[in-house]
Amino acid sequence: MMSSSFSVFRVGIYFVMMCSFYKSAVDSLLQLSPQKYFSTLQPGKASLAYFCQADSPGTSIFLEELNEAVKPLQDCGISVAKVNCVKEETSRYCGKENDLMKAYLFRGNILIREFPTDTLFDVDAIIAHVLFALLFNEVKYITTPEDLQNIENALKGKTNIVFSYVRAIGTPEHRAVMEAAFVYGTTYQFVLTTETALLESVGIEDIEHAHLYFFHCKPVLDLTHQCRKTLMEHPLTTLTIHRFIKTMEAPLLTEVAEDPQQVSTVHLQLGLPLVFIVSQQATYEADRRTAEWVAWRLLGKAGVLLLLRDSLEVDNLQHANVIFKRAEEGVPVEFLVLHDIDLIISHVENNMHIEDMREDEDGDMEGPDLDIQDDEVAETVYRDRKRQLPLELIVELTEETFNVTVMASDSIVLFYAGWQAVSMAFLQSYIDLAIKLKGWKEITILDRIGTLGTSTVLLTRVNCADWSDLCVKQNVTEFPVLKMYKKGKNPVSYAGMLGTEDLLKFIQLNRISCPVNITSVQEAEEYLSGELYKELISYSSVSVLGLFSPTMTTAKEDFTEAGNYLKGSVITGIYSEEDVLILSNKYAATLPALLFARHKEGKIESIPLANSHVQDIVGIITDALLEIFPEITVENLPIYLKLQKPLLILFSDGSINSQYEKAILTLVKEKHLDSLTPCWLNLKNTPVGRGILQAYFDTLPPLPLLVVVNLPSGGQVFAFPSDQSVTAQTLLLWLKKLEAGLESPITILPAQGWKPHLPAYNFLSMMDAAASRHPTGKGPGCMKETGMQESDKEQEEDKSTRKEPIETLRIKHWNRSNWFTEAEKSSRRDDKEL
């Protein structure tokens, strides 16, 4: 059934944690020299050791947390020791400071695992991580509903499941679950997740708190039937989980024939009440079915017994059909007449006594909303800690090999920190990229004429935790950072999303000049048709061609600088030959001009560039890349929020409705929606849309549904009337009513900023940097390709491309349109009346 590779009393684990910061000693920690410590290690003995340099300055915060973990870990058979290193010590665990930042897990003297010590941020995290590592085979970590269903199917008729959801690894709830698994792991199959989708799959909508379920799979003999599920309705602590599991072990229904005042079960010992369903011989079968139904409804909340009154002489029994007994000693039982099961349940839930543990539990749970490791990044990295990454696919660079490598070949370098969760998540995407690309370490690039060439680019990495000086020289001040190095040119930094597809797009689009120098009309036509770089069309569906006369020197320089700045996000080209008027006349473009070739639509548009500088050109190209009726996703939402317009959103539970699409595109073509951002959201592709709709409506409305959300000014939300059909005419009429202030909003969003808990977790800022790379100051920071510069010049290049954080979703200042002014005044009047 379950792995027995770990048993508390039979298998010893040595957990060695390294430190280079702390000098002070904690009296309760066993203190040894490295030689003495290693000489005491024996198979079957567990030990948690913390290595410190004897002369290392710093704080004792971690030692204080470790000291608090000594007793709980000893109770689990794991001793704790502090090992004092000396300068002469040759042990690898007393080596460089970078090594001392790692934590090591041993069995005997064999190294099992290592991870950074900053994941052990307090006593709960220490105990949770240690037990999670020890019980890795006993506690299955899953990520999808399919994983849970597979485990459930495999265990039907065999054993029961304890399924728990915690918001983050290392929290008090995670510790409580692991301590329960430590005790009951050989009896039940424990399953753990931090994925909200799994919680929703079992019917829980509250994802803000930890939850625990008991799956009754052992009694299920028919594999087509589902396991019954019982939810623990109290906060997750070691005590509440223990009490809950004990109630699951107790008989579902017990028959008794004695005075209820004298009856005692495990439920009373656990502080839970008893409910007696009074029965008699004539109605025994029906009463037993009722009692079983009540028992399932109250499982984990109270004990249920079937009381046979025929042989009893107890006052009040002739008139009562339910008896309620509290857990407190000396409190008389209640004789009740309740003819409905729901009344029985309500009475118990309203009156049952729960030991006064909530205050203690709330005290244990105090903190910044339990976001110890922030959203899902650190959790994802931790749960994949046993995944063996094929690091051999990525060339590791050191201070000695870096310059030689990047000067010898075109190279992509990932600068990361092995102790940082975001870095490790990005490293996984980076390795997935290496696996996806043919040749793994090397990727094919495009040569000048657009055919596949034989040049290659090397995928490499630098762990800044080991080579901090090298990273400083390369102006790496945050992690992770990806840079492309080309011989004789300045490195280009990646500022996009941390996914494999975005990385691939950046690499492929960086293989051509920025912009491409087109030398003939025929080549320009091939460029505009997509034939010249057809291998790249899947990465950039729009190609931009700048048209200039040979004498327009300043305009060409500005466009070239803008093209350099946009390299990696769009294909740009420039044509300035003597016969440029051929293209100008054909596409009705007044020089200087931009031609936009939209390959999906097969269209070519022209935009004049008169008196446009670098910033203007970048803005024009960036805006032109936006779709006129895009599907909104988590990744592209910041792009459209930057337009600072109200959103006209079509919510759809699947593919887009053709009637709605036709109506919206008609209004777009007729320029009626210029003051709005029309878009649609597919709830199947972007499930967070359901949460958005639930924030707008009390219940999830029928789909498809059109909604206007005025984020820039006022926060009003308007819904298209459900009793009207959607046509271009009805939609336009409704929008005019909104503009005139004749419609009332269904809700008004609160004026609050949604900020990350820490600056390092400002992932929207990262998305914004990829989506909107408008220059500041005199122009973009893309250097002229004159050769590799010194690190100080590279630093200047990086600073120029650094972006300000994204605006909050609640944009308070909007000057481009007063489209909703009257509606806002109307809503204010309504507020005053209320």
What is the mean pLDDT for each group of 10 consecutive residues in the chain (834 residues)?
A: 37 37 48 79 74 58 80 81 71 62 68 73 87 85 92 94 92 93 91 88 82 94 90 90 91 88 86 90 90 91 88 69 87 86 87 48 41 50 60 86 88 86 82 70 39 62 86 87 86 79 82 84 89 82 90 91 85 91 90 88 86 87 84 84 90 88 91 91 87 83 90 86 91 92 87 56 56 43 38 41 33 35 39 34
Residue type, 557: E
For 90, list phi and psi in degrees, rounded to 5: -100, 0
β partners of residue 457: 410, 443
Ramachandran class of 390: left when φ > 0, alpha when ψ lies in -120 to 50, beta otherwise: beta
Question: Residue 351's pLDDT is what?
Answer: 76
| Count of residues making up the chain | 834
Give CA–CA dist 665/663, Å, rounded. Answer: 6
The four Cα atoms 106, 111, 112, 113 give a dihedral, to 10 degrees, of 100
Instruction: Give just the sign of the alpha carbon dihedral 259, 264, 265, 270.
Output: positive
For 618, list phi and psi in degrees, rounded to 5: -60, -40
Tokens of 580: 């440029």
Question: Residue 179's pLDDT is what?
Answer: 92
Residue 97 has what DSSP assignment?
Answer: T
Find, among 663, 748, 650, 660, the residue nearest to 707 by Cα.
650
Question: Residue 784's pLDDT is what?
Answer: 35
Question: Residue 56's pLDDT is what?
Answer: 54
Question: Residue 654's pLDDT is what?
Answer: 85
Crossing angle, helix 284-297 and helix 341-351, to 10 degrees?
Answer: 40
Tokens of 144: 């999808």
Give CA–CA dist 162/184, Å, rounded. Answer: 10
Q: What is the DSSP string of 280-316?
A: -GGGHHHHHHHHHHHHHHTTTT-EEEEEE-TT---TT
Give CA–CA dist 95/658, Å, rounded. Answer: 66
What residue spans of 449-604 are helical by DSSP H?
A: 468-473, 500-509, 521-529, 553-565, 580-586
β partners of residue 450: none
Find, among 434, 431, 442, 450, the residue nearest to 408 by Cα.
442
Instruction: Determine contact, residues 797/581, Cβ cutoff 8 Å.
Output: no
Place of tokens 């220490």: 126
Give the tens place of pLDDT for each residue, 724-757: 899 999 999 999 999 888 988 988 887 666 555 4
**CA separation, residue 649 to residues 652, 692, 772 (Å):** 9, 11, 21
Give CA–CA dist 411/461, Å, rounded. Answer: 10
Instruction: Determine contact, residues 172/126, Cβ cutoff 8 Å.
Output: no
HEC states along 494-514?
CCCCCCHHHHHHHHHHCCCCC
Tokens of 244: 């809950």
